[in-house]
Structures are given as structure tokens and as C-alpha cells.
């Protein structure tokens, strides 16, 4: 349901314009195919938080099969990838996983996602290119 109601970008040009044109907010882009289970779960989280974060972030969805332009550049190989941009700059976030470029793992709640996006916004607006996630995801797979 969430993927239907969030804006989709259908070309590399549209992705570039979305990233270039936003001056005040973090641009959150979800790369992935709408039919995948992990993508649908992420889209649902994104849809549910969109109104709560609209003052400091905007969300776009990109089908990376339809728009493969960024797959190699950003190493988008997972089913679902979420990335952050601020004033045409990719903002990295240290999740404790070793991959600071993107979220490519499932989140358990929409509040976690809000916390991450708020952290990205606060850091990026202060000129930081790398922020530290409010939660360490390095132990996610340990039992």
C-alpha cells in the first residue's frame, strides 16, 4: 500500500533532479522492486512516517531495475536499499555494520527509521558527511 502513495522516480534524470532541487530537507531514496517482501515492508514504514518527517525529509521510491543508473555507483545489489542525500551530497550513516552507505537490512519499527532520518538531518545540516546511527545494528544477527 505504501509504495502506491509515495512518489516514484522513473529515470536517472528524475533522481538527479530530486537530489539537486531539495535545499532544506534530507532526500530519502528507497531503491528496490515493489514486489519484493523486504521492499514492501520498508515502503510501509516509509509511508507511515512520511507525514511525521515532512518538515525535514522527503521520500522517493526508485525501481532499480527500471532505473539501473545508480546500481554500480552506489553498489545497490540488495533487494531493498535506502540512501540519504543532503544538498546533492550522499550522507553516510554508521550503523555498526561496516556499510555506511545505506540501509540494506530490515528495521523492526518505523520509530527506528524516524530516529535514523532525524540523526541524518541533524548531522547533514551541520555539514557532516557521516553520522552515527542512534542504534548499533552490528549485533542484529547474533543470537
Kindly tell me the burial class for residue 33, based on how many C-beta atoms sit within 10 Å of its own C-beta (0-12, 13-18, 19 or more): middle
β-strand 89-94 against 130-132: which pairing, if any?
A: parallel
The average confidence (pLDDT) of the chain is 93
d(CA 40, CA 77): 17
Say if CB 58 and CB 22 are below 8 A apart: yes
The fold adopted by the segment(s) 2-132 is Glutaredoxin (3.40.30)
Mean pLDDT is highest, among 57-66, 91-100, 106-115, for 57-66
Q: What are phi and psi of 70, to 5 degrees?
A: -105, -5
Residue of 113, 134, 109, 131 whose CA lies nearest to 122: 131
Give the model confidence (pLDDT) of 67-108 as tens digits. Answer: 999 999 999 999 999 999 999 999 999 999 888 999 999 888
Q: Which residues make Cβ contacts (< 8 Å) with residue 123, sequence separation at least 6?
A: 91, 130, 131
Kindly tell me the burial class for residue 36, based on how many C-beta atoms sit within 10 Å of its own C-beta (0-12, 13-18, 19 or more): middle
Amino acid at each position: 500500500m505504501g509504495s502506491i502513495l509515495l512518489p516514484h522516480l522513473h529515470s536517472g534524470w528524475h533522481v538527479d533532479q530530486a537530489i539537486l532541487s531539495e535545499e532544506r530537507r534530507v532526500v530519502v531514496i528507497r531503491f528496490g522492486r515493489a514486489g519484493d517482501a523486504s521492499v514492501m515492508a520498508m515502503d510501509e514504514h516509509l509511508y507511515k512516517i512520511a507525514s511525521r518527517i515532512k518538515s525535514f525529509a522527503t521520500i522517493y521510491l526508485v525501481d532499480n531495475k527500471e532505473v539501473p543508473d545508480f546500481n554500480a555507483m552506489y553498489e545497490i545489489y540488495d533487494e531493498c536499499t535506502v540512501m540519504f542525500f543532503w544538498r546533492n551530497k550522499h550522507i553516510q550513516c554508521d550503523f555498526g555494520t561496516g556499510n555506511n552507505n545505506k540501509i540494506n537490512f530490515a528495521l523492526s519499527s518505523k520509530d527506528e527509521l524516524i530516529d535514523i532520518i532525524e540523526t541524518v538531518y541533524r548531522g547533514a545540516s551541520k555539514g557532516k558527511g557521516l553520522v552515527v546511527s542512534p542504534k548499533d545494528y552490528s549485533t542484529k544477527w547474533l543470537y
